Amino acid sequence: MKQNTRKYAAIFAIGGLSFVLGSFVTAKLQVAPVTVDVIKQAEKIIGMDFTDAQADSMVSNLNQFNTSYDNLRKLNMPNSVVPALNFNPIPIGFTYPDEKSGFKLSKTAKLTIPANRDDLAFYTIRQLGELIRTKQISCVELTQFFIDRLKKYNNKLLNVITFTEAHALKKAAEADAEIKDGHYRGVLHGIPFGVKDLLAQKDYKTTFGSVPFKDQQLDVDATVVTRLEDAGAILIAKTSLGELAQGDVWFGGKTKNPWDITRGSSGSSAGSSSAVGAGCLPFAIGSETLGSIVSPSTECGVTGLRPSFGRVSKYGAMALSWSMDKLGPITRSVEDAAIVFNAIQGTDAMDLSTIAAPFNYDGRIKSLKGYKIGYVKADFDRKYANHAADSATLAKLKELGAELVPIEYPKMPIGSMTFLLDAEAGAAFQELVLSHKDDQMVLQNKNAWPNTFRSAQFIPAAEYIEANRARTLLIQNWYGKLKGLDLYITPSFSLNLSMTNLTGNPCVVLPNGFNAKGRPASITFMGQLFGEGKLLQAAKLYQDATDFNKKHPPLNFQ
């Protein structure tokens, strides 16, 4: 027992963290100095082999590193502080897919308010916007309708952390007054929405869905919230997220799938997807680092847009991975996603990772003739649950006029690069490890964040940089393979999901069928980097030619 204790204590002396037999002791205890024996044990963590002489030469440097780590930890930096490094996904020789910006919506038919107002729950932004524009319903009435509906189902779905009711009704009254005076701001004016509770609104808590942060209130408004409210939209709820943006379990319970409440809604944009899927919000904002828009949108049968990295400001949002986090809309339709994206995209002086790029969308196109759409042939050739529906999607795109072009993945160790997320998350939440607060989190299994954060403290900086160098090669390689294509199609769950969260390419995930148990399935439309215009146009044409997004859960669990 003493021998084992010595071994573990030796390994973990490097880095100034103290663990004994896997248990956290404290970061504030005096850490034993690094010795040759410590280095020889630590070699096993980094997969290297040094001679005793080489190890002896490193002792003074490593002890000095430990002193530096301790000094830096005393800064107690909050999650909002970003590194002095910005990830740039743009490959060498890159040209923007859109030459100039433009935004044209499809024509909408004349609309009258339904006899049964409950039908409003599944109206699109376009439809609700038309009812407001023509003054068939007031902003206050619509806002109260969705607040009431959220409250009606929240006790079963657990998709709201905080209602912003007082704020919402005040903003709705202001919107009605503006519209009455002839100051109509556009299609989002008076439309209620929710945001994943990792986005700050200064009048309410921003909990990150996590026990250590459940009483946190940030004195800023996230840029995304500001831009939506500037467009006239009404924030009515902070939606649930899996704790610190993982899964669908948060400090209030497990957010449920409205199609089947025996299941979670998936995550981590759990509440946003669940609420839109249940007709409790016209749209909501989610975030994705490695599948957190794609997965819950699939589970809840909604449409989700994950924009290109750098398209949407992350100011006022929780940081999980500075080089992989992306914010995007979760909606009922592709055109709704385009509407919200158009309002929130663009550079921001408060977020230096944002990149200026044109966005040109035309919802009036009627054919995919002239479009070259790639498809990852190896993915579609394998056997998987949604194969028949995905193959039917390819056939529909060809029917709509597209030329289908087979493509293949780069021959690179893509999965081996995803520890970049662990490294950045481990830095973003190192304070939880140092303070023991990671022990307060709801999930404590090997795949949960606490274990990931602890493990991440042992990722060497050199290996993090090497993985980012490999990522540069991946970005360049994938850009070359996509040249000449307008977009490409892939199953929603494949190697592509990890790869493109590394490369920064945008995607739209949308319903394309149902499984044998009646739950929604999805397909993913992938764009060129900053190619959201053609991506959204093609996805809209496909969605208009099908009716999967018009199916709704029975909600028979009241």
- Using one digit for the tens of pLDDT, what is the confidence trace for 475-522? 999 999 999 999 999 999 999 999 999 999 999 999 999 999 999 999
d(CA 282, CA 275): 9
3-class DSSP state of 353? coil
Q: What percent of the chain has pLDDT over 90?
A: 93
Cβ pair 409, 375 in contact under 8 A: no
DSSP annotation string for 323-352: TT-EEEEEESSHHHHHHHHHHHBS-BTTBT
Residues with a catalytic annotation lie at 196, 268, 292
pLDDT of residue 558: 66
DSSP annotation string for 41-73: HHHHHHT----HHHHHHHHHHHHHHHHHHHHHH
Which residues have a Cβ under 8 Å from the Cβ of 522 and sit 6 or more positions away? 294, 297, 298, 386, 492, 509, 510, 511, 512
Helices 139-157 and 125-133 cross at an angle (nearest 10°) of 150
Mean pLDDT (the chain) is: 94
What number of residues does the chain have?
558
d(CA 474, CA 489): 19
What is the arithmetic mean of pLDDT over 190-210? 98
pLDDT of residue 557: 83
12 pLDDT more than 70: no
pLDDT in tens, 64-77: 999 999 999 999 99
Backbone angles phi, psi at 147, to 5 degrees: -60, -45
Helices marked H in 123-255: 125-133, 139-157, 165-180, 223-230
The letter for the amino acid at 331 is T
pLDDT of residue 115: 96
pLDDT in tens, 82-108: 999 999 999 999 999 999 999 999 998
pLDDT of residue 32: 82
Q: Label the pairing between strands 19-20 and 303-306.
A: unpaired
1 pLDDT more than 70: no
What is the arithmetic mean of pLDDT over 22-50? 77
d(CA 317, CA 221): 9
What is the arithmetic mean of pLDDT over 318-328? 98
Using the CB atoms, write b or e for 514-552: b if 16+ within 10 Å: beeeebbbbbbbbbbbbbbbbbbbbbbbbbbeeebbeee
- Comparing 17-31, 113-127, 356-370, the range with the smallest average pLDDT is 17-31
**Distances 118 to 141, 145, 146, 354 between C-alpha atoms, Å:** 13, 9, 10, 40
Structure tokens belonging to residue 269: 């944009």
Domains within the chain, CATH numbers bracketed: 1-75 (no CATH), 115-357+365-413+467-550 (3.90.1300.10)
Structure tokens belonging to residue 294: 């794609």
What is the arithmetic mean of pLDDT over 112-135? 97
Using the CB atoms, write b or e for 39-52: b if 16+ within 10 Å: bbbbeeeeeeeeee
Q: Which is nearest to 274 in space by CA: 348, 330, 344, 353?
A: 330
pLDDT of residue 24: 42
27 pLDDT more than 50: no
pLDDT in tens, 438-452: 999 999 999 999 999
d(CA 189, CA 178): 10
Banded pLDDT at 109 (limits 50, 70, 90): confident
Q: Which is nearest to 546 in space by CA: 370, 391, 398, 392?
A: 392
pLDDT of residue 2: 38
**Distances 514 to 264, 388, 491, 525 between C-alpha atoms, Å:** 17, 11, 14, 18
Cβ pair 426, 326 in contact under 8 A: no
Cβ pair 86, 352 in contact under 8 A: yes
Q: What percent of the chain has pLDDT over 70?
A: 94
Q: In which element (H, E) is residue 510 found?
A: strand 507-514
d(CA 148, CA 311): 33
Structure tokens belonging to residue 76: 């107690």
Cβ pair 487, 538 in contact under 8 A: yes
d(CA 94, CA 96): 7
511 vs 22, higher pLDDT: 511
- Comparing 65-74, 288-297, 350-359, the range with the smallest average pLDDT is 65-74
What is the arithmetic mean of pLDDT over 374-392? 96
221 pLDDT more than 60: yes
363 pLDDT more than 80: yes
Helices 532-544 and 387-399 cross at an angle (nearest 10°) of 100
